[in-house]
Amino acid sequence: MPTQNLGAMQDWTMRITHVIDHAAREAGGREIVTRWADGSETRTDWAGIHRDAKKMAQALEALGIKPGERVASLAMNHSRHLVSWYGVAGMGGVLHTVNPRLFEDQLEYIVTHAEDRVLFYDAAFQPIVDKMKDRWTTIEHYICYDSGDHARSFEDWIGEHDGEYEWFAGDERDPCMICYTSGTTGNPKGVQYEHRSTVMHALAGLQPAAFNFSSASVMLPVVPMFHAASWGLPYAGAMAGIKFVFSAVNDPAVLHELMLREGVTDSAGVPTVWLAHFQYCDKEGLDLPPLKAATIGGSAAPRFMIERLMKNGTRVQHAWGMTETSPIGTVGGPTWDWEQLSFEEQVDKTAMQGRPVFGVELRTVDLDDMASELPRDGKTSGALQIRGPWIIRRYFKAEQDAVDADGWFDTGDVGILHPDGTLQLTDRTKDVIKSGGEWISSVELENAAVGHEGVAEAACVGMPHPKWDERPVLFVVKNEGADVSEDDIIEHLRPQIAKWWLPDAVEFVDDIPHTATGKISKKDLRDRFSDYKLEG
């Protein structure tokens, strides 16, 4: 019985099942298109995803999977992966989306640590499965999404059930998904999302200041479903009843053709995805696809990328977040004063990381004492901290909280907060360069360097210096056939940054090491150049 002190509204447990029920009921016929790795295509819709998710929930129960237990997916973006997001959560299970690019030891660690009992995988990852099978001791069943040659096929497996199923009625604070971060040091850490945090995060993603979806939106997410819950798009998209176009391969030619043919209005991916698309269009002499909106995140979107997309009439939503933040923290888009800004100023603003969506709070604190809060003056940089209902409290199986007594989670990022709430990310705490007691942003140097037409990729690290403690050294991968010298790079940087920020050396390298999620691994770069010496 409701007590008199409560309000007069209904109970409504914030579970993900509401999201898929809503999509099936209100947008049941809206299409979900998949282009598979073998080139074939299938079409289903939200009603089909809902029906298959129910069958999958029955099939998991028939395997003896219990609420709270983990099952894993090793898969690219496609409709059957989407079914699994809802099917697993619908029977109370927890989907562990495994990043196929992790190294073998990490793959062994995360699957065993999560105690995954079933693995759903793409045939393209059969070699990984074959290699890892003996080391994945907790996995009892292997089910293949797109071929039945080596394992049970997904369609046959769910096909044994009728879909007459009542979703498991658990608590809204129950877990529904787990993603591991691929830190550059130590073992990966598991971040468990809850039903409630996921629903709230997806609602936040619908804000016009975030993904700005309408029912007319057609989204081709390039951000993988195995990375940071694909930025919550599969949930926010269901809430808005949008059409999804998935591609199980990330070939720019395939993406481009799909975007044009399927009327794609929105896409989302890390900067390298957009870069590959630019290069493809340039090589083939094609225009960029006429997208309404492009979400870019995961690493800083370079200025030239933003400019080119904006000139193409595409709204750029530069977003910042991390696995620990579900992941949306901030998203950029036109602000109230947009019309009063020049094009150049609009690009400058978009090159920053946007503003917090409702639900998260940000603050910066002093890098030396990590306690005193810094002013939001658009100048002072400090350690970025965040709190909110979809921000991590504690890593999976950890014994202690990952936040302070007031709920602040230290992101490991360094940034500046502007008076209008815009976040400008300047570095990682581990990568910021301390020269003569002053901080130099390695990221700003890199961003400026990649603006040079001869530069394909740049990474800046602080190298020990006898007088200044550390000084920046810039490692550069040249564009194919580019004729560029150290002096060219320095002259290119000179007007863009403070004089004392200019790198002490520019080193040309054939490649720059990356982490499993495609980010520059400065740790590996430092290891590679551990004997590097700068003269005083």
325 flagged as catalytic: no
- Least Cβ distance, residue 353 to ligand AMP (angstroms): 5
Interface with ligand AMP in residues 400-429 (CB under 6 A): 411-413, 425, 428
Backbone angles phi, psi at 158, to 5 degrees: -75, -25
User: Applying CB under 6 A, does 221 fall inside the site for ligand AMP?
Assistant: no
Per CB under 6 A, the segment of 283-291, 314-322, 358-366, 475-483 that binds ligand AMP is 314-322
Q: Which is nearer to ligand AMP, 116 or 427 (CB)?
A: 427
User: Applying CB under 6 A, does 181 fall inside the site for ligand AMP?
Assistant: yes
Per CB under 6 A, the segment of 236-244, 297-305, 369-377, 474-482 that binds ligand AMP is 297-305
For the chain, count helices (H), then strands (E): 15, 25
User: Applying CB under 6 A, does 320 fall inside the site for ligand AMP?
Assistant: yes
User: Could you give the 3-state DSSP secondary structure of residue 355?
Assistant: strand
108 flagged as catalytic: no
Q: Which is nearer to ligand AMP, 231 or 468 (CB)?
A: 231
Binding-site size for ligand AMP (CB under 6 A) equals 20
The answer to whether the Cα torsion of 114, 115, 121, 123 is positive or negative is: positive
Which one of 17, 44, 181, 364 is the catalytic residue?
181
Which of 119, 517, 520, 525 binds ligand AMP (CB under 6 A)? It is: 517
Residues 327, 230: Cα–Cα separation, whole Å: 9
470 flagged as catalytic: no
Q: Which is nearer to ligand AMP, 318 or 465 (CB)?
A: 318
Query: Which structure tokens are listed for 267?
Result: 């896409």
Residue at token pair 């498991």: 168
Which of 323, 385, 426, 447 binds ligand AMP (CB under 6 A)? It is: 323
DSSP-assigned states of every residue in 115-173 = T--EEEE-GGGHHHHHHHTTT-TT--EEEESS--SSSEEHHHHHHTS----PPP---TT
Residue 156 near residue 149, CB atoms below 8 Å: no
- Least Cβ distance, residue 352 to ligand AMP (angstroms): 9
- Residues near 356 by beta carbon (within 8 Å), at least 6 away in sequence: 329, 330, 362, 421, 423
- Least Cβ distance, residue 430 to ligand AMP (angstroms): 10
Q: Which is nearer to ligand AMP, 79 or 517 (CB)?
A: 517
User: Applying CB under 6 A, does 355 fall inside the site for ligand AMP?
Assistant: no
Residues 403, 392: Cα–Cα separation, whole Å: 8
Residues 307, 18: Cα–Cα separation, whole Å: 39
Residue 330 near residue 319, CB atoms below 8 Å: yes
User: Applying CB under 6 A, does 205 fall inside the site for ligand AMP?
Assistant: no
Q: Which is nearer to ligand AMP, 48 or 415 (CB)?
A: 415
User: Applying CB under 6 A, does 230 fall inside the site for ligand AMP?
Assistant: no
Nearest to 14 by CA among 173, 165, 167, 206: 173
User: Applying CB under 6 A, does 303 fall inside the site for ligand AMP?
Assistant: no
Q: Which is nearer to ligand AMP, 228 or 294 (CB)?
A: 228
Which one of 31, 42, 439, 486 is the catalytic residue?
439
Looking at the DSSP assignment, which residues form a beta bridge with residue 225? none
Interface with ligand AMP in residues 94-113 (CB under 6 A): none
User: Applying CB under 6 A, does 297 fall inside the site for ligand AMP?
Assistant: yes
Q: Which is nearer to ligand AMP, 228 or 360 (CB)?
A: 228
Residue 334 near residue 316, CB atoms below 8 Å: no
439 flagged as catalytic: yes
Which of 298, 333, 462, 472 binds ligand AMP (CB under 6 A)? It is: 298
Q: Which is nearer to ligand AMP, 35 or 428 (CB)?
A: 428
In terms of phi and psi (left: phi > 0; alpha: psi -120 to 50; beta: otherwise), the region of 205 is alpha
Peptide bond into 208 cis (omega under 30): no
Backbone angles phi, psi at 181, to 5 degrees: -85, 145
- Residues near 439 by beta carbon (within 8 Å), at least 6 away in sequence: 367, 381, 414, 427, 432, 433
Which of 212, 247, 265, 353 binds ligand AMP (CB under 6 A)? It is: 353
User: Applying CB under 6 A, does 305 fall inside the site for ligand AMP?
Assistant: no
Q: Which is nearer to ligand AMP, 320 or 501 (CB)?
A: 320
Residue 226 CA, distance from chain mean position: 9
User: Applying CB under 6 A, does 228 fall inside the site for ligand AMP?
Assistant: yes
User: Applying CB under 6 A, does 44 fall inside the site for ligand AMP?
Assistant: no
Give the CA radius of gyration of the chain.
24
User: Applying CB under 6 A, does 435 fall inside the site for ligand AMP?
Assistant: no
Interface with ligand AMP in residues 145-174 (CB under 6 A): none
Which one of 292, 434, 519, 523 is the catalytic residue?
434
Backbone angles phi, psi at 329, to 5 degrees: -110, -60
Instruction: Give Cα separations from 478 to 423, 458, 467, 486, 497 (angstroms).
Output: 30, 9, 30, 11, 21
Per CB under 6 A, the segment of 67-75, 117-125, 275-283, 292-300 that binds ligand AMP is 292-300
Q: Which residues are catalytic?
A: 181, 324, 434, 439
Give contact residues for ligand AMP (rule: CB under 6 A).
Answer: 181, 228, 297-300, 318-323, 327, 353, 411-413, 425, 428, 517
